[in-house]
Amino acid sequence: MKGIEHFQQTLEISPHNVSALYGLASALLGLAKECANLGAFRWGASLLEEACDVAVRGTSLAGNFSCSWKLHGDIQLMYARCYPWAEEAGPRHSDEISFKSSINTWKSTCHIAARNASRSYQRALHLSPWLATLYADVAVASDLCSSFKESPKTDLNVWSVAEKMCLGGLLLEGYNDEFWVALGCLSDHTALKQHALIRGLQLDVSLAVAWAYLGKLYRREGKKQLAQQAFDRARSIDPSLALPWAGMAADADARKLDQNEAYECCLRATQIFPLAEFQVGLAKLAMHSSYLSSSEVFGAIQQSLQRVPHYPESHNLNGLVCESRSDYQGAITSYRLARCALISFAGESSESYLRDISINLARSLCMGGNASDAVEECEYLRQKGQLDSEVLQIYALCLLQLGKNDMALSTMRSLASSILSLEESLAVASISFICRLLYHISGQESAITSILKMPKEFFHSSKISFVVTAIHVLDPKDELEPIVSRSRSFITCREDIIRMHILITFGKLLKHGSNDSLGIQKGVDHLRKALHMYPNSSELRNLLSYLLLSTKEWRDLYLATRCSFLDLSDKQKYKGIKSAFEILGAGTVACYAIGSPKEKFPFPTCRHQHRSGSGAIQLLQKRRVRRDLLHSYYSVLPRLIFNKEITVNASDMLEVLQVLLLIIALSFSHICYYAVHATEDDIISISKEYRQCLELGTDFHIGWISLKFIESRYRLGDDSTMLPLCFENCCKDIKLSWNMWMGLFNMVQGLIAIWFGDFVVAEESFTQASSLADGESCVLLCHGAICMELARQKRESQYISRAIRSLMKAKSAAPDPLPIISLLLAQAEASLGSKAKWEVNLQNEWFSWPPEMRPAELLFQMHLLSRQRKDGSMSSPSLDYADSSLGWILRAIHTNPSCSRYWKFLLKDM
């Protein structure tokens, strides 16, 4: 970009400077190539159009410079390779005539660009006939030009223009291996292609490109063994070459690669060189794996459509990708375009491929809620005698959606009559569909009766087992118990077994419950047994935690927080009824709420809470003083809204708030307005209330802190300095607690930075908070923990030193030994090599926990300490309560069996 700017500035000073024109056109060409490699074809084409105009100006000023004509040819050649089919043409050109017209327009544009490139190269060759590379350029441009022009096949004995030009270059430089490779790539004669590529390898045996194209030639001729050897040699010589990776993916069956390995090879090929054929192949491989809805496949197939819009396969695969992403309207459009491309450009139309496209179209129409059009597609296939099991399933489902239950049952009978003649996978899908359709149309009893009449061999499949078990779960008579028991023996996959345990749990909840409650205890008992077999299953753990939270036994609440599986690496995706974040938060709040239900208790009454020692009295006193100092407006509004004497339903909430707006502090009313709009995800109204809160302002710190959370949650603030300044102005009149409030605001900013994963900003915020709120052990503990995380990420010892300073201050500021502080301090000291301090801090941490609450990480650290003493590297016998290192690691695994690190150390000690 800098070079382009400099050349443009030069041309502003000297518009007729040939060197500047040449440099600008070259820079634009280079940038366009980068855009094309990234898939930004439209942007690259616009840059090439600008570069072409500049190059034309250069040739008009210096028409006798062969380099100027070659540059113009390079630009036109790249334009022919880069010019995309109009993206907006898709939805508007789903009929055959307009679609064919758009494709022809695109082809004509590319053909003209390739022809212009050939003419420019010929002009350059006329000026410099001794340059052998120009012959190769003309050959490449001529071959590309012919690929866009539909012409009758010529006699194989007639040499093409591309072949003749390659030979011209070889006459000048017969020793140039690249010219031999070019001849091998552009020739239409198999023998000549092989001879040219082998000749190139004779000149340079390490020429990876020659090996790659030789492998492609052998594969096309059916010589797969030779093709594999050629591809392997090319990849070993140059792993950055795309074609060998694509060849490896194409030969996945011969190489005995699974679908995921083949997909990874093809993905690497597309990342190296985004060729449309590679991208189409990637989508085809994704069909047989779990990557069809991935962003890589979606981006690849969208890019391929811009370069090969006349390929029916590209549109069909794009429809499958859209369908996997639940974009049924996009899938419908793609399938219709695939049909148009097949009829218009496929030459000999394949009836089987046309049938597959019609089936895909019918399925997307059905899933997209357009059942009537889907029925028309099925009728079209029925008229052509192409009704198979998949079409019959779609047909029956569409009839069901249209309310034609009798016709749906008739279609289902036709499907049932053909089951015995189907392949196993198709038969399993058909049986599962019939069971579900019967349950939906005829009810539970009729479905159970039909299932009992089916041959027992039908249920030898895990997929059918799930369907039958789901019906059995809702059956209080347990009529399907024998079939369900036998079918479960065919479930062997770990994920399927876990899913089946969850389904069985639902059955326990329903069948052992009363009219107004579920049999939660039976479900809990089953999940506990299942967890003994699969202790690392997050789905089982979270479901157990959710059920424990639903029990009436308050003593189970703390178990819910311990059992829930929390994955901090991915906060967006979760499986199950509730996410682990919701379960953990609800369990923690509930445990602490029942622990101190009345203010008269100075200490937590729940023995499972972390103890706070004698500092609880001082903490309650501080809270009492702060609460008395706060203005009464803090509690007026929530009291009016949630008081038992005032019942407000959701529809009246806005009216109540409008009345309260006149009698309560305006800013807090708008914050409550925000809460109402947030439940409806009304971003526009939230933004409006946020702006009104900023305009009105408030004299209360909690109002600005609430706005800070709102701003970060919905990314509303354009000026990041506005709220901190407003908060600082609010604190100007405060003398005694100014540091406390400013430290609190910095702590809030640090928490928000942690939410967004910016630990550097979080560390800065907590540094300021700890300097303002000096002596607050919790703030110092948070700062120390953040520094430890930064030290782990950045591998810099300075963060270890900062963590030690903060943790030492937190330890000295706490009135009683606080858990975690000494453990983090021990790890930090150990990172700096201080084994003695590591041992002392571990001892302090050990006694700061009740015996039944000591965490697994502390036990693991004791295991490491015991190993050090066993090796003789530590002489201090101060910790004499460990029998052996094996005992410690076993206790750590018993406490947290899901940590793989503990298991690895156990193997070392065995």
The predicted model scores a pTM of 0.63
Per-residue pLDDT at 123 exceeds 60: yes
- Of the spans 459-473, 508-522, 697-711, 727-741, which averages the highest pLDDT? 459-473
| Residue 119 lies inside a defined structural domain of this protein | yes
7 and 50 assigned to the same domain? yes
Per-residue pLDDT at 728 exceeds 80: no
12 and 139 assigned to the same domain? yes
Per-residue confidence (pLDDT) for residue 682, from 0 to 100? 65
Q: Average pLDDT of 513-517?
A: 70
Among candidates 164, 171, 186, 161, which has minimal Cα distance to 132? 171
Q: State the residue for tokens 């089936």.
A: 359
| DSSP 8-state assignment for residue 149 | S
Tokens found for residue 20: 């500047």
Per-residue confidence (pLDDT) for residue 609, from 0 to 100? 47
Per-residue confidence (pLDDT) for residue 346, from 0 to 100? 66
Per-residue pLDDT at 445 exceeds 60: yes
**For the domain that residue 69 is a member of, what is the CATH number?**
1.25.40.10
Alpha helices in 66-189 (DSSP H): 66-82, 89-92, 96-127, 132-147, 161-172, 177-186
Per-residue confidence (pLDDT) for residue 771, from 0 to 100? 84
Q: Average pLDDT of 687-712?
A: 70
Least confident of 301-305, 332-336, 700-704, 810-814: 700-704
| DSSP 8-state assignment for residue 572 | S
Of 233, 267, 301, the last residue of a domain is 267
2 and 139 assigned to the same domain? yes
Least confident of 192-206, 398-412, 587-601: 587-601
More confident call, 697 vs 292: 292
Per-residue pLDDT at 330 exceeds 60: yes
Per-residue confidence (pLDDT) for residue 37, from 0 to 100? 84
More confident call, 815 vs 764: 764
pLDDT digits (tens, 9 = 90+) for 53-95: 999 999 888 888 889 999 999 999 999 999 998 754 444 445 7
Per-residue pLDDT at 124 exceeds 70: yes
CA–CA dist 595, 585 (Å, integer): 15
Sign of the alpha-carbon torsion through 181, 186, 187, 193: positive
Q: Which own/partner pairs from 709-716 qualify as long-range (CB within 8 Å, at least 24 positions apart)?
A: 709/748, 709/752, 710/671, 710/674, 710/686, 712/752, 712/755, 712/756, 714/683, 714/686, 714/687, 714/690, 716/686, 716/687, 716/690
Q: Average pLDDT of 442-471?
A: 87
- Pseudo-torsion of CA 880, 884, 887, 891, nearest 10°? 40
| Residue 848 lies inside a defined structural domain of this protein | yes
Tokens found for residue 764: 């800065």
108 and 176 assigned to the same domain? no
More confident call, 662 vs 713: 713
138 and 30 assigned to the same domain? yes
Distance from the first to the final alpha carbon of the chain: 61
Average pLDDT, the chain: 79
Of 170, 188, 203, the last residue of a domain is 203
CA–CA dist 638, 635 (Å, integer): 6
Per-residue pLDDT at 508 exceeds 70: yes
Q: Distances in Å between the alpha carbon of 207 and those of 200, 201, 520?
A: 8, 6, 69
| Residue 551 lies inside a defined structural domain of this protein | no
CA–CA dist 687, 700 (Å, integer): 21
Per-residue confidence (pLDDT) for residue 456, from 0 to 100? 83
Confidence band for 253, pLDDT divided at 50, 70 and 90: confident
Per-residue confidence (pLDDT) for residue 152, from 0 to 100? 54
For residue 466, what is the enclosing H or E element?
A: helix 462-473
The neighbour count for residue 881, using CB atoms within 10 Å, is: 7
- Pseudo-torsion of CA 596, 598, 599, 605, nearest 10°? -30
pLDDT digits (tens, 9 = 90+) for 273-298: 889 999 999 999 998 888 898 999 99
Chain CA centroid to CA 496, Å: 23
**For the domain that residue 216 is a member of, what is the CATH number?**
1.25.40
SS3 at position 434: helix
Per-residue confidence (pLDDT) for residue 733, from 0 to 100? 55
Per-residue confidence (pLDDT) for residue 678, from 0 to 100? 57
79 and 197 assigned to the same domain? no
Q: Average pLDDT of 574-590?
A: 67
Per-residue pLDDT at 154 exceeds 90: no
pLDDT digits (tens, 9 = 90+) for 635-694: 333 333 333 233 333 334 444 334 334 333 444 555 555 555 555 566 677 677 767 776
25 and 70 assigned to the same domain? yes
| Residue 116 lies inside a defined structural domain of this protein | yes
Residue type at 824? L
Per-residue pLDDT at 819 exceeds 50: yes
3 and 93 assigned to the same domain? yes
Among candidates 479, 478, 474, which has minimal Cα distance to 509? 474
Per-residue confidence (pLDDT) for residue 701, from 0 to 100? 65
Tokens found for residue 481: 């118990």
Tokens found for residue 486: 């036998």
| DSSP 8-state assignment for residue 459 | G
49 and 125 assigned to the same domain? yes
Query: What percent of the chain has a predicted confidence (pLDDT) above 70?
Result: 79
| Residue 12 lies inside a defined structural domain of this protein | yes
Full residue range of the structural domain in which residue 117 is found: 1-144
Of 93, 125, 144, the last residue of a domain is 144
131 and 23 assigned to the same domain? yes
Among candidates 588, 514, 587, which has minimal Cα distance to 544? 587
| Residue 190 lies inside a defined structural domain of this protein | yes
Number of independent structural domains in the chain: 4
Produce one character per residue of 532-567: b if its CB has 16 or more CB atoms within 10 Å, e if not.
eeeeebbbbbbbbbbbbbebeeeebbbbbbebbbee
Q: Average pLDDT of 886-891?
A: 87
51 and 109 assigned to the same domain? yes
Per-residue pLDDT at 569 exceeds 60: no
Q: Distances in Å between the alpha carbon of 785 and those of 94, 740, 801?
A: 58, 21, 12
| Residue 535 lies inside a defined structural domain of this protein | no
Per-residue confidence (pLDDT) for residue 347, from 0 to 100? 57
SS3 at position 131: coil
More confident call, 883 vs 752: 752
4 and 109 assigned to the same domain? yes
Confidence band for 624, pLDDT divided at 50, 70 and 90: very low
585 and 788 Cβ atoms separated by less than 8 Å: no
Among candidates 854, 825, 848, 849, which has minimal Cα distance to 838? 825
Q: Compute the C-alpha angle 257/258/261, nearest 5°.
A: 80
Per-residue pLDDT at 386 exceeds 70: yes
SS3 at position 485: helix
| Residue 667 lies inside a defined structural domain of this protein | no
